């Protein structure tokens, strides 16, 4: 498969449903490409509740969210699909490739990616990190401003300012203790943190030891630096006092928001405002060779759960493969 070569199945979104679809399509010997707007796979589970436990996925009486999606990724990526992370799918158009009718997929970063079929597993839409309301904030990305902590080593001996009041912010104020240069400044706009009490207590203990500097109720108002982040101006919002904190890494952990975005404009029939209508028998949308599964797929009585999305992914992948091969839909067992 070349850089933009035609694949049998493109999967839009790498949450639990997309990873399940990748498994089922790969299992049927289909060539697969996955396109995901985040720099990570795992969908809502990784983005919003990696530390929580999930109790209702078949076969797992209790499993931590991140562990579950790590296993989904191991299973879904075993046939080595082409995975494009950090690209938001924006367009879908019919196209021709060597006389064959295909679909052409455009993203905000690349493409066109040609495919014989598409399975949309976009959940509630593309996830984007919530950003500080500072003009020109995007210019600091890759220059000291981070929205996730992927590798701790990136922050080795850095002076870090972490912004946020939830579990991620507290987890990393604690988790970077052995990596970043102390104290790690923790900025939150309210006095009360939303994070687990035990994490907050631990951070307050570290504050007494000079290893964490808790700044509340405070907001970052300006970023300074000659090319890279060198300092931030912080406002204490109850007194309007402004002060400067030197830092070489600004980590804003303010959660994510999602939007169906361009998908809603492709002419697919919708079910309400946030879902694409599918025929639950086949998971096909109103467009030929375009399927949907998981939270984004709607029909009367739909239940948005991981297990349901995985089941729909199996239906969608098997139907997509059958449609492009002109075969009857039939299951192929995985046992050997
Ligand atoms: C706090 C919380 C707790 C939950 N607990 C449970 C539970 O206990 N049990 C349960 O079964 N369910 C639970 N759920 C629901 C469950 O997480 C969802 O049903 C599941 O994640 C849906 O999977 P999905 O793959 O369909 O979509 P998602 O997980 O939303 O993944 C969709 C992916 O598609 C990507 N994407 C979207 N649009 C684009 C685009 N245009 N281009 C590229 N990528 C795109 C997104 O970035 C995202 O990564 C919970 C949800 C929340 C928020």
Closest residue CA from atom 27 of ligand 1: 123
Helix, coil or strand: residue 73:
helix
Closest residue CA from atom 19 of ligand 1: 305
What does the pLDDT read at residue 1? Answer: 46
Q: How far is the CA of 40 from the centre of ligand 1 (A)?
A: 13
**Angle CA 191–194–197, to nearest 5:** 95
177 exposure class (CB count in 10 Å sphere: 0-12, 13-18, 19+): middle
- To test the ligand 1 pocket, which listed residue (34, 66, 122) has its Cβ within 8 A of the most ligand atoms? 122
43 lines ligand 1 (CB under 6 A): yes
What does the pLDDT read at residue 128? Answer: 82
Q: How far is the CA of 306 from the centre of ligand 1 (A)?
A: 8
Here the tokens at position 146 are 């981070």
CA distance 104 to 202: 51
CA distance 291 to 270: 13
What does the pLDDT read at residue 4? Answer: 54
**DSSP assignment letter at 264:** G
Closest residue CA from atom 49 of ligand 1: 43
For residue 44, the ligand 1 atom closest to its alpha carbon is: 29
Cα–Cα nearest to 245, from 259, 258, 229, 232: 232
Q: Give the model confidence (pLDDT) of 154-213 as tens digits.
A: 999 999 999 999 988 999 999 999 999 999 999 999 999 999 899 999 999 999 999 999
CA distance 175 to 179: 8
Longest pairwise C-alpha distance within the chain: 70
Helix, coil or strand: residue 120:
strand
**Is the dihedral angle over the CA atoms 256, 109, 36, 152 positive or is it negative?**
negative
Closest residue CA from atom 30 of ligand 1: 123
State if pTM tops 0.75.
yes
Spans in the chain with pLDDT lower than 50: 1-3
287 lines ligand 1 (CB under 6 A): no
What does the pLDDT read at residue 3? Answer: 45
Across 125-205, where does the E strand assignment appear? 126-129, 145-146, 159-163, 181-187
For residue 260, the ligand 1 atom closest to its alpha carbon is: 38
CA distance 48 to 128: 12
**Angle CA 212–215–219, to nearest 5:** 135
291 lines ligand 1 (CB under 6 A): no
CA distance 72 to 66: 10
Closest residue CA from atom 39 of ligand 1: 126
Cβ atoms of 47 and 15 within 8 Å: the answer is no
Q: Does residue 162 have a cis bond before it (omega within 30 degrees)?
A: no
Element (H, E) at 199: helix 197-208
| Cβ neighbours of residue 218 closer than 8 Å, sequence gap 6 or more | 187, 188, 189, 234, 235, 236, 237
**β-strand pairing of 113-120 with 290-292:** parallel
- To test the ligand 1 pocket, which listed residue (10, 11, 12, 13) has its Cβ within 8 A of the most ligand atoms? 13
- To test the ligand 1 pocket, which listed residue (123, 293, 302, 312) has its Cβ within 8 A of the most ligand atoms? 123
40 lines ligand 1 (CB under 6 A): no
Q: What is the dihedral of CA 301, 304, 309, 315, to 10 degrees?
A: 10
What does the pLDDT read at residue 258? Answer: 77
């Amino acid at each position: 498969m070349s850089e933009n070569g035609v694949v049998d199945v493109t999967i839009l979104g790498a949450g639990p449903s997309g990873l399940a679809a990748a498994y089922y399509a790969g299992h049927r010997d289909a060539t697969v490409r996955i396109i995901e707007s985040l720099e990570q796979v795992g969908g809502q589970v990784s983005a919003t509740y990696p530390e929580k436990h999930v109790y209702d996925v078949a076969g797992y009486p209790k499993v931590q969210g991140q562990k579950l999606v790590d296993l989904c990724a191991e299973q879904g990526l075993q046939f080595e699909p082409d995975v494009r992370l950090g690209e938001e799918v924006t367009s879908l158009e019919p196209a021709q490739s060597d006389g064959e009718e295909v679909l052409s997929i455009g993203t905000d970063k690349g493409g066109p990616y040609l495919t014989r079929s598409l399975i949309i597993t976009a959940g509630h839409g593309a996830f984007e990190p919530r950003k500080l309301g500072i003009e020109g904030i995007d210019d600091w990305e890759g220059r000291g401003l981070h929205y996730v902590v992927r590798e701790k080593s990136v922050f080795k001996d850095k002076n870090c300012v972490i912004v946020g009041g939830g579990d991620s912010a507290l987890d990393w104020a604690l988790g970077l203790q052995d990596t970043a240069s102390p104290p790690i400044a923790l900025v939150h706009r309210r006095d009360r943190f939303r994070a687990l009490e035990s994490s907050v207590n631990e951070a307050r203990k570290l504050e007494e030891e000079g290893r964490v500097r808790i700044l509340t109720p405070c907001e970052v108002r300006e970023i300074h630096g000659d090319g890279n982040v060198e300092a931030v101006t912080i406002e204490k919002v109850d007194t309007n006092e402004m002060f400067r904190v030197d830092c070489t890494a600004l980590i804003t952990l303010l959660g994510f928001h999602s939007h169906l975005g361009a998908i809603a404009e492709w002419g697919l029939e919708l079910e309400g405002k946030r879902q694409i209508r599918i025929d639950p028998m086949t998971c096909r949308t109103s467009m030929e060779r375009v399927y949907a599964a998981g939270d984004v797929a709607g029909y009367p009585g739909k239940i948005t759960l991981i297990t349901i999305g995985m089941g729909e992914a199996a239906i969608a992948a098997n139907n997509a493969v059958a449609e492009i091969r002109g075969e009857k839909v039939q299951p192929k067992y995985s046992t050997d």
